[in-house]
Amino acid sequence: MSLKLYVKIWCPWCVRAQQWLDAHSFRYELIDVEKSRADYDEMIRLSGQSRTPTLVTGSGALLADFGPEELAGFLAENSIAP
């Protein structure tokens, strides 16, 4: 299953989310919303908000404005493994 992680690279929650996903061997596409207005607008369209990080699964499940402690439950609930 593909994962997209929308981030602002200076955001400490985004850095922690990336570190958690990396430590648990998840593969994901990293999207820096400050590099592309289109990506930022897409994240807002998907999540309804402008905060990062935002994680979107290939099936469309979404976790917005989260801390790494929420990742394990979200990924398990959506049957996503590394």
pLDDT tens for 39-82 read 999 999 999 999 999 999 999 999 999 988 899 999 999 999 99
State the residue range of the domain holding 33: 18-54
* Count of Cβ atoms closer than 10 Å to residue 36 Cβ: 11
**Is residue 38 helix, strand or coil?**
helix
Confirm whether 46 is domain-assigned: yes
Residue 73: inside a domain, yes or no? no
Give buried/exposed letters for 4-23 (b at 16+ CB in 10 A, else e).
bbbbbeebebbebbbebbee
Please give the single-letter amino acid code of residue 66: F
Q: Does 1 score more than 60 pLDDT?
A: no
The reply to whether 66 falls in a domain is no
The total domain count for the chain is 1
Q: What sign for the dihedral angle of Cα 31, 33, 35, 41?
A: positive
CA–CA gap between residue 45 and residue 43 (Å, rounded): 5
Q: What is the pLDDT of residue 33?
A: 97
| pLDDT at residue 68, rounded to an integer | 83
The string of pLDDT tens digits covering residues 6-36 is 999 999 999 999 999 999 999 999 999 999 9
Structure pTM? Answer: 0.93
